[in-house]
Amino acid sequence: MQTSDKNLLTLALCLLLGWGLIGGVASGTEIAARTPPVEPVFTPILTRVLAEPQAVLGSDRRWHLVYELELRNTTAGPAVLEQVEVRDAERLVVLDAFSGERLTEQFQIAGQRVTTALLEAAQFGVLYLHLSFPDRESLPGTLEHWVTAQLSAVPPGQERSLSRGEPSEVGSSPAVVLGPPLQGAGYIAADGCCASTRHLRALLPLNGEYRLSQRFAIDWEKLDRLNRIYEGPRDDPHSYFIYGQPVLAVAPARVAVAVDGLLEATPGAFPENLPLAEADGNHIILDLGRGAYVLYAHLQPGSVQVRAGDRVQRGQVLGRVGNSGNSIAPHLHLQVMDAPSGLVANGLPYVFSRFRITGVDEAGTADFDHAEETGQPAMIVPVQPPSRHIRELPLDLTVIDWLNL
């Protein structure tokens, strides 16, 4: 006990005094007899995976890993990140390497876009990662992150550093399988997986932790035959083709939360000064069992047909699509998470039992936003013939028909 206490003290002193003394710790260690010796190596950029990544099969028939990596500059001067390498720690292969624009596009400090992956002294940022794999067999079991950075407040000769992070495991639980949350044809999966930003980067410091409940959330809108989101006045919720559509229980479940009675905002602008607790508007959370919950947000006031504690059957009508809460246009926000809260939870992947893809907005989120702002048709490229999908997650901006039951 005394020896290890002394070692801790020596280590603390070395850290206080600087890097030059670190060699003294290694020579004084006596506890290495039973475990293989660990070579001390400075890792000035510390990395941490915020939540255990879990793979999901997307509607492109590839397996997707979506997760966040915190990068922390432990030095007293600026660090310019050059490259972040993601490795399969078991197969010892590089899975992907992020540098240049790919790095800055996916890196954020305090939720802001950056132009240079620069971390000031003692600052941290978050890298939003998306990797995809052709089949389940090629998924890694353990990830490792190697960061190359240019440092300034370091002894001469150590300006270019390589930091190797602790290995982190990839979760092995299968994604939750859901039935259809809506019925009929022409639904577009907006702000969906895996490279859009509004949901995937909604990382919030809540209740003492970073939370990303919306990692796999989708904002569902309904298109008409001309691929428009609404027809008529933009500020009238009734103009939207999805408005009032029944939302359905995606599985037999117990109702964990049911909130009704919140007013709807006028479409076209987000409501101002909305309390955080009202962000989801009228909403329902179902307890699916095994630690998974599904959220239906922004429902029409007066439409919620269930109460907390009720048991519901798959396909049962729960309420109607509306525009309550933090919503700019009527839509159904649907997500799965690990706790009965729309925000204070960790977002989990899920798949739908059966659906058909009829098109995709290849022009991206900007085109979807334009369609939502103007009522003009979205630039949907048809999928001919429509493709059938079983137990997959519809990817961003795919247009689908629900194949009910």
As a whole number of angstroms, the distance between CA 199 and CA 331 comes to 14
Instruction: Please state the closest distance from residue 405 (CB atom) to Zn ion, in A.
Output: 26
Instruction: Please state the closest distance from residue 120 (CB atom) to Zn ion, in A.
Output: 32
Task: Determine how many CB atoms are found less than 10 A away from the CB of residue 272.
Answer: 6
Instruction: Please state the closest distance from residue 326 (CB atom) to Zn ion, in A.
Output: 8
Under rule CB under 5 A, residue 372 binds Zn ion: no
- Sign of the Cα torsion 270, 396, 177, 56 reads negative
Closest CA to 215 of 345, 59, 107: 345
Q: Which stretch binds Zn ion (CB under 5 A): 76-84, 164-172, 218-226, 262-270?
A: 218-226
136 CB-contact burial (10 Å; exposed 0-12 / middle 13-18 / buried 19+): exposed
Question: Do 131 and 86 touch, CB atoms closer than 8 A?
Answer: yes
The site map against Zn ion for 168-207 (x = CB under 5 A) is: ----------------------------------------
Task: Determine how many CB atoms are found less than 10 A away from the CB of residue 187.
Answer: 27
Under rule CB under 5 A, residue 219 binds Zn ion: yes
Distances (CA, A) of 255 to 296, 312, 329: 11, 7, 26
Q: Which stretch binds Zn ion (CB under 5 A): 99-107, 169-177, 329-337, 349-357?
A: 329-337
Minimum CB distance to Zn ion smaller for 219 or for 221: 219
Q: Which residues pair with 57 in a beta bridge?
A: 63
Instruction: Please state the closest distance from residue 342 (CB atom) to Zn ion, in A.
Output: 10
Under rule CB under 5 A, residue 283 binds Zn ion: no
Minimum CB distance to Zn ion smaller for 219 or for 264: 219
Q: Which stretch binds Zn ion (CB under 5 A): 50-58, 93-101, 112-120, 215-223?
A: 215-223
The structure tokens 């999901």 sit at: 56
Instruction: Please state the closest distance from residue 323 (CB atom) to Zn ion, in A.
Output: 12
As a whole number of angstroms, the distance between CA 6 and CA 8 comes to 5
Minimum CB distance to Zn ion smaller for 81 or for 217: 217
Instruction: Please state the closest distance from residue 297 (CB atom) to Zn ion, in A.
Output: 7
Under rule CB under 5 A, residue 333 binds Zn ion: yes
Q: Which runs of E-coded beta strand occur in 187-260?
A: 187-190, 204-206, 209-211, 218-222, 246-248, 253-259
Under rule CB under 5 A, residue 215 binds Zn ion: no
Q: Which stretch binds Zn ion (CB under 5 A): 11-19, 62-70, 161-169, 330-338?
A: 330-338
Q: Which stretch binds Zn ion (CB under 5 A): 117-125, 202-210, 310-318, 327-335?
A: 327-335
Would you say how long the chain is, in residues? Answer: 405
Closest residue (Cβ) to Zn ion?
333
Minimum CB distance to Zn ion smaller for 119 or for 321: 321
C-alpha 294: how far from its chain's center? 15
Closest CA to 247 of 337, 322, 318: 318
Instruction: Please state the closest distance from residue 283 (CB atom) to Zn ion, in A.
Output: 11
Instruction: Please state the closest distance from residue 204 (CB atom) to Zn ion, in A.
Output: 14
Distances (CA, A) of 254 to 90, 103, 304, 318: 40, 42, 15, 12
As a whole number of angstroms, the distance between CA 167 and CA 294 comes to 30
Q: Which stretch binds Zn ion (CB under 5 A): 84-92, 214-222, 229-237, 259-267?
A: 214-222
C-alpha 384: how far from its chain's center? 30
Question: Do 404 and 315 touch, CB atoms closer than 8 A?
Answer: yes
Instruction: Please state the closest distance from residue 190 (CB atom) to Zn ion, in A.
Output: 8
Between strands 176-178 and 350-361, the pairing is parallel
Number of residues that bind Zn ion (CB under 5 A): 2
Minimum CB distance to Zn ion smaller for 25 or for 202: 202
Distances (CA, A) of 12 to 26, 44, 48, 164: 13, 16, 22, 21
Minimum CB distance to Zn ion smaller for 143 or for 217: 217
Minimum CB distance to Zn ion smaller for 102 or for 198: 198
Minimum CB distance to Zn ion smaller for 118 or for 371: 371
Amino acid identity of 393? Answer: L
Instruction: Please state the closest distance from residue 245 (CB atom) to Zn ion, in A.
Output: 16
Give residues in contact with Zn ion (CB under 5 A). 219, 333
